[in-house]
Amino acid sequence: MKALKIAEGIYDVGATDWNVRDFHGYSTENGSTYNAFLIIDEKVTLIDTVKVDFLDQLMAKISSVIDPAKIDYIVSNHTEMDHSGALPRLLHRIGKDIPVFCSKMGHKNLASHFGQKINYRPVADGEELCLGKRTLKFIETRMIHWPDSMFSYLVEDKILFSSDGFGQHYAGPERFDDEIGEAIMPYAKKYFANILWLYAPLIKGVLNKVRELNLPIEMICPDHGVLWRQNPAKIVEAYTRWCDLQPQPDKALVIYDTMWHSTEAMAEAIVAGLAAEGVSAKPMHLRTCHRSDVVTEAFDAKALVIGSPTLNNGLFPTVADFLTYLKGLKPKNKLAASFGSFGWSGEAAKLVEDELKTMGLHLSEDPLKIQYVPNREGLEKCFEFGRRIARAMR
């Protein structure tokens, strides 16, 4: 396995995980990569490592450029184990006491993962490290998306190593934005919606901080997916837009699960009502669509209409799962409503409403409930429910 040269003396030595399909609950239908970067200078420096299972891939790629024993410095931009998991074994294999540069919180968090025996070198925000002909500048980016997160900027080459920021869970033959083009943007959006949505206000602050530093950026190298070399401004502009959390004013999503197709029939009638008022709406069945794909669609929808049948006096499990996931992402600036079919007790629609209220979303309608199977009159109610939600979106 060979390293990929990305600039003079700089290599991508990370791993490709072609087979991962579930990344802690996020569906990765095209796998992912755990990017790591090797800088050959007077001080040979490795930026980030990989998931522990991919240590051999990392070692092979480093070895294609240089003897791993010649590594002088390691930089850990982020503690999460898809980037740090291989660190202790890497150090063990190299067999020497390499300093590991990290943020102050990185020091604390790495020590909580791997103990105190590693030679941690915590750095301050803005601190610089001379590698010889090159300089690395560390930029603290707390909560993007862990307290330990930081970016490292290679001053002379104008390369920003951005950890999880600007990443995408995508494994493919392409390694650069210009090789894949616009097709990478849905992966970047899905990453933002599922990993970074709740930190959007903080990310806005970091983007402003980086702008104020006035650093020329010729390439952005995230820890997942393709590297932004042709047009790094494109992903920065997309993040600037996504951080504003402005929904598409005419987009609604009807999210549901169903036991005997009654809540499904309600969902489809609600979609028809929304569409009749000119809203772009679609139903998403929670056992057909993965929660992370539903969240990607929900991210820029103006209205979320969520339906659950009542099962054993409660929510249907997939709906409870989705509500928990959505709540954690702290959605804002959205209208919401709930619905569901029931047999004899009928708690679910109200329970969905309670969760939506807890999230602070604006409820424009009381929950809509229909017993057993919706008849023509029931479906008409659903259609009108959809129409009223569409009008409330204006």
Check if 169 is active-site.
no
Which residue in the block uniquely carries the two structure tokens 């009542």? 310
Interface of this chain with ligand FEO, residues 217 to 256, rule: CB under 6 A: 223-224
Distance CA 289, CA 78 (A): 31
Q: Shortest gap between Cβ of 190 and ligand FEO (angstroms)?
A: 14
With respect to ligand FEO, which residue has the nearer C-beta, 164 or 300?
Answer: 164
Indicate if 145 belongs to the active site.
yes
Does the footprint of ligand FEO cover residue 164 (CB under 6 A)? Answer: yes
How many angstroms separate the Cα of 370 from the Cα of each of 226, 279, 341, 373?
48, 24, 5, 7
Q: Quick check: is 24 catalytic?
A: yes
Name the segment binding ligand FEO (CB under 6 A); options: 9-17, 77-85, 295-303, 339-347.
77-85
Whole-number Cα distances in Å, 161 to 127, 180, 294: 15, 20, 30
Q: Has 191 been annotated as catalytic?
A: yes
- Classify burial at 331, counting beta carbons within 10 Å of its beta carbon; exposed 0-12, middle 13-18, buried 19 or more: buried
Q: Of all residues in this chain, which one has the CB nearest to ligand FEO in the complex?
A: 80
Active site residue 107: no
22 labelled catalytic: no
Identity of the residue, 33 or 263, whose beta carbon is nearer to ligand FEO in the bound complex: 33
Q: Does 190 bind ligand FEO (CB under 6 A)?
A: no
Which positions ≥6 away from 198 have C-beta within 8 Å? 328, 329, 330
Write the CB contacts of 185 (distance below 8 Å, at least 6 apart in sequence): 238
Q: Is 268 in the site for ligand FEO (CB under 6 A)?
A: no
164 is catalytic: yes
Q: Map residues 79-108 to x or -, x wherever contact with ligand FEO holds by CB under 6 A.
A: -x-xx-------------------------
What tokens were used for 289? 């669509």
User: Is 224 known to be catalytic?
Assistant: yes
Instruction: Give Dmax (Cα) for the chain.
Output: 78
Q: How far is the CB of 83 from ligand FEO (least distance, A)?
A: 6
Residues at the contact surface with ligand FEO, assessed by CB under 6 A: 78, 80, 82-83, 145, 164, 223-224
